[in-house]
Amino acid sequence: MSNQVVKVIEILAESEKSWEDAAAQAIQHASQTLHGIKSIYIENFEAAVENNHIVKFRINAKISFVLD
Sorted by where each starts, the structural domains of the chain and their CATH numbers stand as: 6-66 (3.30.1660.10)
- Which residues, 6+ apart, have CB-to-CB distance to 8 below 8 Å? 62, 63, 64
Name the band, by pLDDT with cuts 50, 70 and 90, for residue 68. confident
- Which residues, 6+ apart, have CB-to-CB distance to 55 below 8 Å? 16, 48, 49
pTM of the entire structure? 0.86
Q: What is the pLDDT of residues 2-59, one digit of tens each?
A: 688 999 999 999 999 999 999 999 999 999 999 999 999 999 999 999 999 999 999 9
pLDDT of residue 16: 97
pLDDT of residue 1: 42
